[in-house]
Amino acid sequence: MKGSAISVRIADFLKEYPPFQFLEIDSLRDLAAHGKVKFHEDGEIVFSQGQPRNQWLYVIQQGRVRILEESDKGELLIDMRGPGDLLGLQGIRTDEPYLYTCRTETETILYGIPRSLFVEYAEKSARARRYLAAYFSLSPAYHWNSYLSEDESPSGEEGLITLSKGGLWEVEPPQTIAKASLVTVTPEAPVRDVARQLRSKRIDCVVVVDEMGLPIGKLTDGHLRDCVVEGTIHPNSPVGELMSTRLQVANPEENIGDLLVKLTRHDTNFLIITEDGTVNSKVRGLISERNLFLQYGRFPSVIGEAIGCAPDITSLRLLRDRLEALILEFLDSRRSLIWLMEMVGVLNRKLNQRIIELVLHSMEEEGLGRPPLEFCWLMMGSGGRNELLIRSAVYHALVYEDPQPEQAEKVTKFFRKMANRVGRAIRQCGFLESPQNVLAHQPGWCLPMSAMKDKFSSFIREPVASHVYAARDAFDFQPVRDEGSFLADQLSEHINRELSINPDFIRHMASDSLLNQPPRTIFSGYVLDQEGIRRDELAIKLHALLPLVDVARVLTLESGSHQPTETFKRLDLASQRTKDPKMRNLLHEASEGFLVSQFARISQGLRSGTDGAVIHPAELEPESRTLLITTFRTILGILEVTAKRFDLKWRD
Partner 1 sequence: MARLMERVHKYSRLNSLRLSLESNWEKFRFVCIDSESTGLDPRRDSLISLAGVTVTEGDICLYDEFSIVMPVAYNTSSVTVHGITREAAAEGIEEPEALLQFLDWLADGVIVGHHIQHDLTLINIACERHFGRQLKNVVVDTMESYLTVKDAGGFSNAPEDERYSLDALCDRFNITPHDRHTALGDAFLTAQILLRVLKEAGKLGMWNLEDLHAWYSDELFPYGKG
Least distance from partner 1 to the Cβ atom of residue 4, Å: 6
Answer yes or no whether residue 14 interacts with partner 1 by CB under 8 A.
no
Closest C-alpha to 56, from 27, 25, 83, 35: 35
Helix 334-365 and helix 256-265, axial crossing angle in degrees, nearest 10: 10
Closest C-alpha to 219, from 231, 196, 230: 196
Least distance from partner 1 to the Cβ atom of residue 60, Å: 15
Binders of partner 1 in range 85-114 (CB under 8 A) = 107, 112
Sign of dihedral through CA atoms 97, 99, 103, 104?
negative
Task: Output 10 or 313, the one with its CB closest to partner 1.
Answer: 10
User: What type of residue is 269?
Assistant: N
Q: What is the number of alpha carbons within 13 Å of residue 345 lying toward its C-beta?
A: 24
Instruction: State the chain's maximal CA–CA distance in angstroms.
Output: 92
- In angstroms, the Cα distances linking 154 to 44, 124, 157, 163 are 42, 18, 9, 11
Task: Output 62 or 458, the one with its CB closest to partner 1.
Answer: 62
Q: Which of 18, 21, 38, 497 binds partner 1 (CB under 8 A)?
A: 38
B/e letters for 237-254, b = 16+ CB within 10 Å, e = fewer, are: ebbbebbeeebbbbebeb
Alpha helices, DSSP H, located in 513-580? 540, 546-558, 567-577
Least distance from partner 1 to the Cβ atom of residue 38, Å: 5
Q: Which of 1, 16, 26, 41 binds partner 1 (CB under 8 A)?
A: 41
Is the Cβ–Cβ distance between 324 and 391 less than 8 Å?
yes
Least distance from partner 1 to the Cβ atom of residue 32, Å: 6
Answer yes or no whether residue 37 interacts with partner 1 by CB under 8 A.
yes
Task: Output 115 or 262, the one with its CB closest to partner 1.
Answer: 115
Task: Output 62 or 561, the one with its CB closest to partner 1.
Answer: 62
Q: Which of 14, 23, 28, 35 binds partner 1 (CB under 8 A)?
A: 35
> Using CB under 8 A, which of the segments 28-36, 64-72, 269-277, 349-357 binds partner 1?
28-36
Answer yes or no whether residue 5 interacts with partner 1 by CB under 8 A.
yes
Q: How many other C-beta atoms are found inside a 10 Å radius of the C-beta of residue 326?
A: 20
Is the Cβ–Cβ distance between 88 and 51 less than 8 Å?
no
258-297 footprint of partner 1 as x/- string (CB under 8 A): ----------------------------------------
Answer yes or no whether residue 39 interacts with partner 1 by CB under 8 A.
yes
Answer yes or no whether residue 228 interacts with partner 1 by CB under 8 A.
no
Least distance from partner 1 to the Cβ atom of residue 39, Å: 4
42-71 footprint of partner 1 as x/- string (CB under 8 A): --------------------x---------
> Using CB under 8 A, which of the segments 38-46, 218-226, 444-452, 628-636 binds partner 1?
38-46
Q: What is the number of alpha carbons within 13 Å of residue 506 lying toward its C-beta?
A: 24
Cα–Cα–Cα angle for 447, 364, 420, nearest 5°?
40
Sorted by sequence, the CB contacts under 8 Å of residue 311 that are 6+ apart come out as: none
Beta bridge partners of 205: 220
Answer yes or no whether residue 32 interacts with partner 1 by CB under 8 A.
yes
> Using CB under 8 A, which of the segments 34-42, 351-359, 388-396, 531-539 binds partner 1?
34-42
> Using CB under 8 A, which of the segments 27-35, 457-465, 574-582, 626-634 binds partner 1?
27-35
Q: How many H-runs (helices) and E-runs (strands) does the chain carry? A: 23, 22
640 burial (CB, 10 Å; 0-12 / 13-18 / 19+) is middle
Sorted by sequence, the CB contacts under 8 Å of residue 531 that are 6+ apart come out as: none
Answer yes or no whether residue 644 interacts with partner 1 by CB under 8 A.
no
Q: Which of 34, 266, 520, 584 binds partner 1 (CB under 8 A)?
A: 34
> Using CB under 8 A, which of the segments 30-38, 127-135, 166-174, 524-532 binds partner 1?
30-38
Query: Both ends of the chain: CA-CA distance in Å?
Result: 68
Least distance from partner 1 to the Cβ atom of residue 108, Å: 11
Answer yes or no whether residue 15 interacts with partner 1 by CB under 8 A.
no
Task: Output 113 or 538, the one with its CB closest to partner 1.
Answer: 113
Task: Output 31 or 557, the one with its CB closest to partner 1.
Answer: 31
Q: How many other C-beta atoms are found inside a 10 Å radius of the C-beta of residue 435?
A: 9
Count of residues in contact with partner 1, rule CB under 8 A:
18
Task: Output 52 or 405, the one with its CB closest to partner 1.
Answer: 52
Q: In angstroms, rounded to a whole number, what is the distance separating the alpha carbons of residues 210 and 206?
A: 13
Q: In angstroms, rounded to a whole number, what is the distance separating the alpha carbons of residues 307 and 320?
A: 9
Backbone angles phi, psi at 525, to 5 degrees: 85, -5
Answer yes or no whether residue 4 interacts with partner 1 by CB under 8 A.
yes
User: What's the length of the chain?
Assistant: 652
Binders of partner 1 in range 438-457 (CB under 8 A) = none
Answer yes or no whether residue 383 interacts with partner 1 by CB under 8 A.
no
Q: In angstroms, rounded to a whole number, what is the distance separating the alpha carbons of residues 285 and 283?
A: 6
Answer yes or no whether residue 201 interacts with partner 1 by CB under 8 A.
no
> Using CB under 8 A, which of the segments 2-10, 389-397, 497-505, 604-612 binds partner 1?
2-10
Q: Which helix (H) or strand (E) holds 360?
A: helix 334-365
DSSP 239-281: GGGT-B----EE-TT--HHHHHHHHHHTT-SEEEEESSSSTTS
Q: Which of 1, 26, 36, 361 binds partner 1 (CB under 8 A)?
A: 36
> Using CB under 8 A, which of the segments 33-41, 95-103, 161-169, 307-315 binds partner 1?
33-41
Is the Cβ–Cβ distance between 377 and 360 less than 8 Å?
no
Least distance from partner 1 to the Cβ atom of residue 133, Å: 29
Is the Cβ–Cβ distance between 319 and 306 less than 8 Å?
yes
Least distance from partner 1 to the Cβ atom of residue 86, Å: 18
Least distance from partner 1 to the Cβ atom of residue 112, Å: 7
Question: What is the binding site for partner 1 (CB under 8 A)?
Answer: 4-7, 9-10, 32-39, 41, 62, 107, 112
